[in-house]
Structure 1
Amino acid sequence: MNTEQPAAAVRHTFFEDSYAFLTGCSLVVLGLVWLKSAGLVTGGMAGLALLLSNILPLPPGVLFTLLNIPFFVLARRTMGRASMVKAIAANLLISGFALAAPMAFRIEDVNGLFAALFGGTVIGVGILVLARHRVGVGGLGILALALQKSRGWNAGRTQLIGDALIVSAALPVLNMGPKQFAISVLSAAAVAGVLIVFHKPGRYTGY
């Protein structure tokens, strides 16, 4: 009989949390810039920010933060005050990185398929890094969890419906053809794929 006890979870240090903030937020912004350069959208609040950046004179990273403001209160109710403060800090950092990105690099030409796969995956990894340090940055994810808790709706299905609506809304705004629409759907799948494969309960003991 196995008598070994599971290892106790160890809290992240302030340095580890700070490093995760910088890494996760920079990856989210990098992925947004990549998708924006290819004229694509993705799912979640990142996709909605990309969509609105084609209408409003603001970078997607800043819009990403503005769109998430109403969900900060919801985050407090569903995940606690500490998580809400972390979410606000992460979103402000994303806005700062988004404003600084044009001064650091420019992406003039990029293959759409590569941008969808690479940009979507990079956004997913950025969100994963933050989630591993108990930081949520996406409003739709918070809403999906809240609806699951209050009404019993499956969070995954709710998130999927939201992603489908956002990508579909881009059709008339960006005048997407079938190919570009399909690639945008692929980018949303790339974001979700990272979280589905690598963010599973019981496989990560730190918090």
Structure 2
Amino acid sequence: MSLHCPSPATMPPADLPAPAPHTPIEDLQALITGCLFVALSILMLRESRLLTGGTTGLSFLIHYLSGWRLGLVMFLVNLPFYAFGLAALGKRFTFKTFCAVGTLSLFTELIPGLVHFDRLDPVFAAVMGGLLAGIGILILMRHGASLGGSGVLAIYLQKTRGWRAGSVQMSVDVLILSLGLLVISPGEVGLSILSAAALNLVIGINHRPDRYFGF
């Protein structure tokens, strides 16, 4: 899933008091809550055989092709990207991201045993899945974490090569969704794009440096 990291521009104006840092308990509840939202989103997408962008989408492709456990694949696929996270975003962010990815991987395996859909409309799954993922990622972002992957690489390339992180992330997402045509139908790819749009709508509206100062 796409990564959107807080920037210095998210700090409040000078005439407002600096925000109080989150406590460890607050970070823990955000980690659990955000990952639960995203795990439920992943379940809805998988039940409808859809995809998403980023390393989560790549994990879906590997899962569909191999039948390997999705949670395990997600955890393993993200491992190489922590090196970029350390270089671009520091130890604290990378540690929180590692914890978030590990928790999401665990929840991805546990949630199917707790939730079962007798009927799930694919269009609803695409939209609701995207919205749930966007909310979960937003919660994690506000607490200085992410779901890692290609977004971390995009920020690393922006800092070291001057490449626009948004353009890199979009290129990766387009590539992964295009590869989806090898595994799922064009209609399912179209719904996957709809889901990604819903996710980014939530992030775009609710993560505004000029409007929201909490993080």
Normalising by structure 2, we get a TM-score of 0.88
Deviates more, 1:126-135 or 1:148-157: 148-157
User: 1:27 touches 1:123 (CA, 8 Å); kept in 2?
Assistant: yes
Distance in 1 of aligned mates of 2:118 and 2:50: 14
- Which residue, out of 148, 155, 172, partners 2:158? 148
- Residue 107 of structure 1 and its aligned partner are, at CA, apart by 2.5
Structure 2, gaps ≥5 residues long: 1-13
Identity %: 37
Distance in 1 of aligned mates of 2:18 and 2:42: 37
**Structure 2 counterpart of 1:91, which letter?**
V
- Residue 202 of structure 1 and its aligned partner are, at CA, apart by 4.5
**Structure 1 counterpart of 2:163, which letter?**
W
- 1:6 corresponds to: 16
Distance in 2 of aligned mates of 1:202 and 1:8: 15
- Residue 119 of structure 1 and its aligned partner are, at CA, apart by 0.5
Deviations 1:30-79 (A, max 9, x none): 10110000011111122122222112333333322211111111111111
**Structure 1 counterpart of 2:200, which letter?**
A
- Which residue, out of 167, 189, 195, partners 1:187? 195
Distance in 1 of aligned mates of 2:38 and 2:68: 16
- 1:132 corresponds to: 142
User: 1:26 touches 1:97 (CA, 8 Å); kept in 2?
Assistant: yes
- 2:3 corresponds to: none
- 1:44 corresponds to: 54
Over aligned residue pairs, what C-alpha RMSD do you find?
1.6
Normalising by structure 1, we get a TM-score of 0.91
Report the CA distance shift for 1:123/1:61 in structure 2 as closer, same or farther (over 3 A).
farther
Structure 1, gaps ≥5 residues long: none
**Structure 1 counterpart of 2:39, which letter?**
V
Distance in 1 of aligned mates of 2:103 and 2:45: 19
- Residue 108 of structure 1 and its aligned partner are, at CA, apart by 4.2
Q: Secondary structure at the match of 1:67?
A: helix
